[in-house]
Structure 1
């Protein structure tokens, strides 16, 4: 039986190993028990990301409020850096939580998974495939994104100056403030901004990977728990109960299995709630500023007359939209899967269960009617309704700006 179950576990373990490998490269994995060298790497990464965030903050004061297009250029970059610091430090601060969830999916959840159950096998393979697609997309999207963001300003600068014959205007990946003449030291400034862009994208991308994976595996386990509830009393057990054979043993086994299911659900509920608390600051920030930034970047790339700025603001707009959509989508999926447990309880052959089992099922059903949620510090639930609300608000602002813009 161990030989049969190993392939089912292996497909998930491979993805966890991938996450561990990615996290190791940015000094976050292992979550607990890092070496002194890894902790030094973590501190250095934190310091340089904080430095570039401060640099963008000072850029705001240098720019002032006279050129609102430049402010729109600064704010999204500044927001991404702030979000990166929040996510990077949150994972470090709550490393015990991430460690517990990681090893739960690696070691603890498999006692409820049966290799003989076709439904279990399909669920494991399905959610591992979903997780793999998400993680590979984030990985392979990050590579060309870094290359484009780092090289595009230089390519456009050379093209406009050499090909179109325009006056040389120095362009940078995020055009920050420097305590020296950045035109004179153009190569230094450009290399610094290119390097920091790559660092921010790596940290941001991994944090999205780990959170999306944890949510996907949580949904996988909820799906398996739902299947276990539906099979709590099998058709064969029903036949035996009707015939009066092994009734006490069947009811005892059902109660034991049900208690295991409830314990697993309780663990997932606690960890999902803790993860919601960890992500709350970033989600609230996304919700609070998302509609404004989406509107401003969308409006700006339609009115500026510079090819470089149009393309730059367009990618800012799409990146903001994708990030908010991602958070709302995983929140919706998590809620939907936790709510499905109520239907699984109702779909089980509970009429043939013992009074004790029925009582436990009823209490468990009441608990499952409160779904798992991802929220912005409890103020707003991240789901597709929230995403629709953000898009609607952004569109209204966009139309307003188009109307009043001279």
Structure 2
């Protein structure tokens, strides 16, 4: 193996791993354990602010339900509350499960490289580039999203007053409830809602980046494992077996490599199962809220006369669809990579292996029949079929509400 090539691939991979730690530091999540006292204090402050925002939206929902008969107002508040709750669960769950996150980080920092061969460097380099592109997109996508969400109310106000010549209406990013006059304290309220919007978006972007990166690393190891299985019995091994040259030594080497692969698969299975448990709460909330709020926001965007609210609901609907797709997609990707191990076993030159190797390959193939997957607390698997179900339920809800609306119009 070329030391220069190996060092470059490893350096690029570790830089990407280090990127995860650096963006985690921005919301005081990383290091996952042994954080400084200041980091823990800042973490608790963020949790408190996020909880206060969720409580404010709950109060807004309750007060609005009591004081108005306009159900559009409730639909305006509920998706915001759902987004905040899901974000808070993701953020706090990382803290509660920091040992598991640290375990995955240390595994790919150290243990993973003990089984890397020269032939698998190309795979590692490819997956490192893919991970880099996706995580950068998820994180830097937050910047235009923050600008649009926080500036859109002011732009609409400017348009309506100075261009459309309409009466001034004070607009806010999420328009929460306050026990005082909103107009009198408008700029202070706008500052609060802007800061909370930035905080929620950044937390969502960072946590999504961490989860995508970790999922990509697991898929990378599964891909490397499948490649090693396909080349378990190399052409050189086949030649030695056919010509009866060092047959015992050749089979012993094959068995030794296969045992390492099986141990690595067991380790990876346990690690991905624990990670799935960590993600379960947020995925269950995503499935529940996504199925309801996508339909509600889509309905409101099509019937709302107010331009600001109509556009706002439409983009909120798009954001909910993207978030549901992202969580289902990472579940689909890890499942596909896990199932591909069985195909790798089939394509290996197992007919030339001895009896022990064939038995171990069969055992490994049986284990791969239960693929790695992310679940919503065990109730359902998160994959593209689930995303299709979410979209289907949302569209059914949209049609139902639309029909009721048309009848009562």
> What interval of TM-score do these two structures reach, taking the shorter chain for normalisation?
over 0.9
- Which one of the candidate residues 75, 100, 103 is aligned to 2:78? 75
Supply the distance in 1 between the matched residues of 2:335 and 2:7 (Cα, whole angstroms). 30
Equivalence map 1:80-159=2 (5 Å):
80-115=83-118, 117=119, 120-159=120-159
Tell me, in whole angstroms, the C-alpha distance in 2 between the residues paired with 1:162 and 1:304: 23
The alpha-carbon deviation at position 404 of structure 1 amounts to 2.6
Consecutive unaligned residues of structure 2, counting only runs of 5 or more, are: none
In 2, the alpha carbon distance for the partners of 1:213 and 1:95 equals 16
How much does 1:94 deviate? 0.5
Count of aligned residue pairs for this structure pair: 403
Residue in structure 2 matched with residue 182 of structure 1 by the alignment? 182
C-alpha separation in 1, matches of 2:279 and 2:100 = 12
Asked if 1:173 is matched to 2:173, the reply is: yes
Residue 11 of structure 1: how far off its partner (Å): 1.9
- Kindly provide the CA deviation profile for residues 200-234 of structure 1, in whole angstroms up to 9, marking residues without a partner as x: 11111111001111111111110000000011110
Task: Tell me the distance in 2 between the aligned counterparts of 1:174 and 1:133.
Answer: 31
Q: Secondary structure of the equivalent of 1:154? A: helix
Shift of 1:25: 1.0
Contact 2:373 2:382 in 1 (8 A): yes
CA distance in 2 between counterparts of 1:289 and 1:387 reads 13
Deviation at residue 401 of structure 1 after TM alignment: 2.5
Q: What whole-Å deviation, never above 9, does each CA across 1:7-59 have from its counterpart, x for those lacking one?
A: 12122111111111100111001111211111111011111111111111100
**CA distance in 1 between partners of 2:132 and 2:71 (Å):** 41
Aligned residue in 1 for 2:16: 15
Residue by residue over 1:350-378, the C-alpha shift from the partner in whole angstroms, topping out at 9 and shown as x without a partner, is: 11112111111111111011000111111
Q: Which one is further off, 222-231 or 179-188?
A: 179-188
Q: Deviations over 1:98-129 (max 9, x none)?
A: 001011112111122212x1xx2231122112
For 2:195 and 2:356, locate their aligned partners in 1 and report how far apart those are by CA, in whole Å.
62
SS at match of 2:141: helix
Q: How far did residue 175 of structure 1 move? A: 0.4
Q: Counterparts in 2 of 1:14-93, with a 5 A limit? A: 14-64=15-65, 66-93=69-96
Cα shift at 1:164:
1.7
Q: Distance in 2 between matches of 1:110 and 1:81?
A: 38
Partner of 1:403: 403
Tell me, in whole angstroms, the C-alpha distance in 2 between the residues paired with 1:167 and 1:62.
26
- Matching residue of 1:3: 4
- Match of residue 281 from structure 1: 281
Q: Distance in 2 between matches of 1:382 and 1:281?
A: 12
Contact 2:297 2:313 in 1 (8 A): yes
Query: 1:212, 1:78 → 2: CA distance?
Result: 24
What's 1:383 paired with?
Answer: 383
Q: Name the TM-score, length of structure 1 as normaliser.
A: 0.97
Cα distance in 2 between the residues matched to 1:60 and 1:141:
29
How far 1:162 sits from its partner (Å)? Answer: 2.5
Once the 2 structures are TM-superposed, how far is the Cα of residue 179 of structure 1 from its aligned partner? 2.4
d(CA) in 1 for partners of 2:231, 2:98: 36
Distance 2:396 2:62 in 1: 29
What aligned pairs does 1:344-383 form with structure 2 within 5 A after superposition? 344-383=344-383
**How far is the alpha carbon of 1:291 from its aligned partner?**
1.7
Give the whole-Å Cα distance in 2 for the aligned partners of 1:96 and 1:249: 41
Distance 2:192 2:5 in 1: 52
Q: Which of structure 1's runs of 4+ aligned residues deviate more than 4 A?
A: none
Distance 2:398 2:150 in 1: 29
Q: Any conservation in 1 of the 2:6–2:121 contact (CA below 8 Å)?
A: no
User: SS of the counterpart of 1:27?
Assistant: coil
TM-score normalised according to structure 2 size: 0.96
